[in-house]
């Protein structure tokens, strides 16, 4: 029961952080005598909303990595998305915008990125080493999985190993880009990471719709499948419509609206999943087994 409550708090915490971030941006707009908006949500890094912006995204990233998901592909997406969320937080967009309630100096940006990313890479490298060492130490272990965790599926081990490889490549690639091509990293890492984070979130929502459709509880199947599917559709269709309008009209606030849409849907997703898995730590493995194998877990 303690594990289940911990998962609830993690999911509720991420949804709450999204509300906190949007509230901070809204307050900054309210206090701005110009009554204007920045061109992007990321540009609020250069306003008094910066501490909440960085803290919220950094914490969301850590929570995504810490939260164990099943099947393993969900967990890999959370880990990759969490890594990228931290980069989005500490490597701000190079365009600081002009709409802010108080003047803001951006000269320290390069120094902030250098300090923060160096520290992050050191921490991430230590975490990666510990993860790999732990995985090796558990090989061949005869310990029985906890009662609230699913037994290993047919391809679970391969997906987990592949996920570790992907995460290691992401870390090594980030280090090489950062130390070898600093100018390019400083000006592009935010956009690359934000795009990757959005893709990971959308895929995760789609996979949860698939999982809900296969739920053993017939009363939940239709309801949660519909909610996840509508959420995924809103993200994909909404993003496409906004980008088309921007391409046609040059809409200055298209990026802001797109980011608010995606992060808002991200918060809603965690709210829905909290309710969906209220009495479960993670999804039962039975949902991903072929129907002819029967409902029992190994």
Kindly report, residue by residue over 22-50, the tens digit of the pLDDT.
999 999 999 998 889 999 999 999 999 99
C-beta separation of 39 from 255 below 8 A: yes
The CA distance from 28 to 191, in Å, is 23
Q: What is the separation of C-alpha 96 from the centre of its chain, rounded to a whole number of angstroms? A: 23
- Between 77 and 279, residue with greater pLDDT: 77
Per-residue model confidence as pLDDT tens digits over 247-293: 999 999 999 999 999 999 999 999 999 988 888 777 765 444 443 44
Please check whether residue 246 is in contact with residue 254, taking contact to mean a CB–CB distance below 8 angstroms: yes
pLDDT score for 140: 56
Q: How far is 286 from 292, CA to CA, in rounded Å? A: 11
What's the predicted TM-score (pTM) here? 0.86
Kindly indicate the confidence band of residue 152, based on its pLDDT and cuts at 50, 70 and 90. Answer: low
Residue 219: its pLDDT value, please? 67
pLDDT attached to residue 288: 42
d(CA 141, CA 124): 26
What CA–CA distance (Å, rounded) separates 38 from 95?
Answer: 10
pLDDT band for position 139 (50/70/90)? low
Q: What is the mean pLDDT of the chain?
A: 85
Between 290 and 196, residue with greater pLDDT: 196
Q: Could you tell me what percent of the chain has a pLDDT over 70?
A: 86
Distance CA 23, CA 143 (A): 46
Segment among 12-21, 230-239, 273-282 with least mean pLDDT: 273-282
Beta-carbon count within 10 A of 119 CB: 11
Task: Inform me whether the pLDDT recorded for 110 exceeds 60.
Answer: yes
**pLDDT score for 223:** 84
Lowest mean pLDDT among 82-86, 189-193, 281-285: 281-285
């Amino acid at each position: 029961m303690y594990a289940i409550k911990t998962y609830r708090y993690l999911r509720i915490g991420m949804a709450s952080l999204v509300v906190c971030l949007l509230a901070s941006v809204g307050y900054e707009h309210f206090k701005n005598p110009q009554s204007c908006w920045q061109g992007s949500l990321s540009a609020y890094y250069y306003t008094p909303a910066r501490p909440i912006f960085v803290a919220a995204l950094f914490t969301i990233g850590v929570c995504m990595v810490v939260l164990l998901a099943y099947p393993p592909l969900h967990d890999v997406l959370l880990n990759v998305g969490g890594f990228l969320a931290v980069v989005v937080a500490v490597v701000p967009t190079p365009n600081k915008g002009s709409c802010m309630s108080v003047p803001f100096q951006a000269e320290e940006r390069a120094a902030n990125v250098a300090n923060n990313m160096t520290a992050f890479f050191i921490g991430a490298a230590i975490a990666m080493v510990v993860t790999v060492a732990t995985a090796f130490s558990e090989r061949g272990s005869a310990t029985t999985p906890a009662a609230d965790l699913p037994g290993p599926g047919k391809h679970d081990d391969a997906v987990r190993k592949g996920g570790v490889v992907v995460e290691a490549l992401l870390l090594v690639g980030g280090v090489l880009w950062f130390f070898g091509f600093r100018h390019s990293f400083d000006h592009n890492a935010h956009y690359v990471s934000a795009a990757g984070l959005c893709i990971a979130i959308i895929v995760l929502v789609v996979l949860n719709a698939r999982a809900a459709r296969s739920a053993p509880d017939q009363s939940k199947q239709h309801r949660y499948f519909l909610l996840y599917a509508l959420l995924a559709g809103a993200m994909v269709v909404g993003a496409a419509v906004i980008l088309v309008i921007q391409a046609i009209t040059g809409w200055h606030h298209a990026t802001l609206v797109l980011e608010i849409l995606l992060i808002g849907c991200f918060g809603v997703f965690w709210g829905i999943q909290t309710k969906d898995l209220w009495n479960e730590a993670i999804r039962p493995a039975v949902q991903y087994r072929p129907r002819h194998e029967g409902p029992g877990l190994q």
